[in-house]
Structure 1
């Protein structure tokens, strides 16, 4: 049974390689939650999924709170909205650094942070990866599965939402960003997560069992 660390926020002491925020503002929104988790929720960056004020991923914004509430309903999250208690769940972003309001990370900036994201993902060593939104879904499919070539160049994120894709040591469950959810998208991802919980999803890393 793994026991990585009991620290909740930035459990591995990552330090962002650059800071483009004004003086006195938060430089980055680090990974947060149960570092021994089996479920790892992966967002895009703080400007999309929140945390520039709280320092916690998936807070503040409507999209972030909508994701958080999915995992409240499925039993992973309790406590305050801005500082939730996570059990068997870890949150992080592809691009942890905060940018001025209205700015999006460049391709170079995503690349600069990729090694930090990858190191943390492998340290968490979760069984289920749940990327949120097209950028995170595309990255996870390209990097942690051999399945990306099965899909069109432009991902059908609506079609992939709440599906189960076998990866290299992971089960990947894409989540459409809540800003684009349609009438039954929330219920669909809740149902998928509940279904995974009802079966034996665990595996020995490096050995093809549930996930190839």
Structure 2
């Protein structure tokens, strides 16, 4: 069943619970892309993956642009880098609000926004979750799989690896700043293989196995 919205940015009209942004920054970097997507790319916060000025995830900053570059190569993104067109792909952050000087959120600030991220993730209802970096991967594995207690959060080992979840296939992406030779090619290859497969069956498989 498809989502009944064609809005690209903040398709479900979320309203952040606080505004601690710098004067020239957006209050929040909302979820962005195809609300009917099968692939949901999940970043950390605007200070890591960008968008404080553009309002679009995975823009402006080096780590975010490296992720966007991979998504362009496999055909999810096209057009301007600061406002790309997305097909079959949705981008969002576990902490959408922008903070002064791009600082990291506190544990309390992450917790304040958890319900917003969860609501959006469930509304998108993608088949494949692609968390980027340790914080996003930890959250996704804890909340949407039964396997976090079995898995060491070693992002170098988890990178581009399949983890079965509760109704989702999770494919973690190591932070681009930590990529070594072959890491970019590994995630490109994994995404291409998924796109060439009947990945929509992963929801049923994941529900059984996870």
Q: What is the distance in 2 between the residues matched to 1:141 and 1:67?
A: 20
Consecutive unaligned residues of structure 2, counting only runs of 5 or more, are: none
Pairs within 5 Å for 1:20-59? 20-59=20-59
Aligned counterparts, 1:101-120, within 5 A: 101-120=101-120
Equivalence for 2:197: 199
Question: What's the counterpart of residue 167 of structure 2?
Answer: 169
Aligned-pair distance for 1:26? 1.2
Distance (Å, rounded) in 2 between the aligned partners of 1:161 and 1:209: 21
Distance 1:24 1:184 in 2: 38
More helix by percentage: 2
Q: Is the 8 A contact 1:201 1:210 kept in 2?
A: no
Q: In structure 2, what is the equivalent of residue 209 of structure 1?
A: 205
RMSD: 1.3
**Counterpart for residue 12 of structure 1:** 12
TM-score, structure 1 normalization: 0.95
Contact 1:99–1:105 (8 Å) recurs in 2:
yes
1:180 aligns with 2:186: no
Gapped regions of structure 1 (runs ≥ 5): none
Matched, 1:73 2:69: no
Offset at residue 25 of structure 1 (A): 3.0
TM-score of the superposition, structure 2-length normalised? 0.95
Matched, 1:89 2:89: yes
Q: Structure 1 pair 54/204, CA: closer, same or farther in 2 (3 Å)?
A: same
Asked if the contact 2:19/2:97 (under 8 Å) is kept, the reply is yes
Distance in 2 separating the partners of 1:24 and 1:51: 12
Mapped to 1, the partners of 2:120 and 2:177 lie a distance apart of: 27
Task: Sort the Cα spacing of 1:185 and 1:87 in 2 relative to 1 into closer, same or farther, 3 A.
Answer: same
Q: Secondary structure at the match of 1:129?
A: strand
Q: In 2 relative to 1, CA 25–62 (structure 1 residues): closer, same or farther, beyond 3 Å? A: closer
Residues 202, 210 of structure 1: 8 Å contact kept: no
Cα deviation, 1:33-87, whole Å, max 9, x if unaligned, reads: 0000000000000000000010000000111111001111001110000000000
C-alpha distance in structure 2 between counterparts of 1:167 and 1:104, whole Å: 27
Give aligned pairs, total.
Answer: 208
Displacement over 4 Å in runs of 4+: none
